[in-house]
Amino acid sequence: MAGPPRELDELLRALTRGDPSAISAEELARIEAALEADPALAAALAAEPAGGGDPLVAAVADTTPGPTADEWARVWSNISAGTATAARPAVGRRASVWLRLRVPLAAAAAVLLAIGTWWNWERRGGDAWEIRLAADVEIDDIDMPDSTTPVVIRLRPDGPVVIWALADMSG
Amino acid sequence: MNSLVRSSVDTSELRQIDAAARGDPAARHALFERYREVAYRVALRITGRHEDALDVVQDGFIRAFEGLAEFQREAGFQTWLLRIVSNRALDLVRARRVRLAVPLDADDADGRATVPADERVPRPDAALEQSELAARLRAAIETLPPDQRAVFALYATGELSYGQIAEALGIPIGTVMSRLFHARRRLYERLPDLAAEWGVQAPPPK
């Protein structure tokens, strides 16, 4: 380490050597203050590898076996299952398929609903009615964004009214 | 402080990290295989329990992978991962609020650390002495306050610089040195025979 006064340099060496008896509490406080006040000193110390040559580190080096292969496999399996990011593309793909299909699916559901409503109406003995194309309906305004179903069903006392919005093909 | 030390990050690892951030399972698995052992050792030394350490590693990797978008590449994946693992392990220890394998009041009457009863695997004779020494040290480490234990756990990996330890724990380097000093002092208090053997003057027990 370059720069620090000789005495401070000695204190730092004693500290990094790992012998706590070589430094007093007052000297430790002095080192802390010096590291706080001198960024260059802190940077020099920060770059030093920690633990090398300390007998405590050598002694604590584990001789016990770590996790088994099965344990690691289980951990990895849980990590894979627990990280949502990996699954996001798949979720996105499903979403895009749903986006493409939802309008025709909604239309099909609306038709089934209309048929079901008609069938139920018949079963309950309601006035007979038939499915017919409305030729005399005038719609003042209908807001039909792209993302919504093109089918509107209104239930009225005289039977359901189904409005199926078609694209303007009149040119 | 955090800007003082930046690990050198090799480009192949950066590519792996980028791929992992995109959700590439192979890249994530490669990072897992590369850093799982050091993460486990740190977690084990902080939590003191094998199963807890595995849980911490698992949780740490999940959080790391999910947070890769915010990861500052120049900091080094290992330092960043160990920060997550250390914090998670410390949360666990603080939540327990009890001493782990060797409670203070379960030590020998003279305050010396003893071997935990739940050592996992019997060892060959040749390694027995080292194993017993490591076990006594682990027992002593578990008596350290959590903050000192975390610093010592990272220090004991022997793979980090003082700056990386500071960065991993989010504390100034002076605090790292102070906690390390007190941790070692306390360990030698509890292991006076080792201190004598290594020529370190053990502080008198408090």
- The ipTM of this complex is 0.74
Test A45 with B66 for CB contact under 8 angstroms: no
Instruction: Decide if pLDDT at A97 tops 80.
Output: no
**For residues A30-37, average pLDDT:** 91
The answer to whether position A22 is within a domain reads yes
Domain boundary among A60, A77, A105: A60
Test A86 with B28 for CB contact under 8 angstroms: yes
Residues A106 and A54 in one domain: no
Distance CA B74, CA B8 (A): 7
Residues A46 and A101 in one domain: no
The answer to whether position A70 is within a domain reads no
Phi, psi of B64 (to 5 degrees): -65, -45
Q: From the CA of A44, how many Å to the nearest CA of chain B?
A: 9
Interface test with B, best of A57, A85, A88 (most B CBs within 10 A): A85
* A55 CB within 8 Å of a chain B CB: yes
**For residues A10-37, average pLDDT:** 86
The answer to whether the beta carbons of residues A63 and B130 sit under 8 Å apart is: yes
Domain of A147?
A: 88-164
A-to-B residue pairs, Cβ atoms closer than 8 angstroms: 165
* A92 CB within 8 Å of a chain B CB: no
The pLDDT profile of chain B, 206 residues, written as one tens digit per residue, is 443 444 445 778 888 888 998 889 999 999 999 999 999 999 998 998 899 999 999 999 999 999 888 887 777 899 999 999 999 999 988 877 544 444 434 344 444 444 444 444 444 454 566 677 778 888 898 899 999 999 999 998 888 999 999 999 999 999 999 999 999 999 988 888 888 787 776 665 55
The answer to whether position A81 is within a domain reads no
Closest residue by Cα to residue B191 from B87, B114, B122, B118: B114
Q: From the CA of B129, how many Å to the nearest CA of chain A?
A: 10
The answer to whether position A42 is within a domain reads yes
Test B25 with A19 for CB contact under 8 angstroms: no
- Position with higher pLDDT, A113 vs A66: A66
**B-contacting residues in A 116-145 (Cβ below 8 Å):** none
Test B4 with A89 for CB contact under 8 angstroms: no
Q: What total number of domains does chain A contain?
A: 2
- Position with higher pLDDT, A56 vs A158: A56
Output the pLDDT for position A96.
47
We find that the CATH architecture of domain B11-197 is: Orthogonal Bundle (1.10)
Distance CA B35, CA B49 (A): 19
Residue B161 in 3-state DSSP?
strand
The answer to whether the beta carbons of residues A160 and A153 sit under 8 Å apart is: yes
* A49 CB within 8 Å of a chain B CB: yes
The answer to whether position A72 is within a domain reads no
The answer to whether position A18 is within a domain reads yes
The answer to whether position A77 is within a domain reads no
The answer to whether position A24 is within a domain reads yes
Residues A98 and A42 in one domain: no
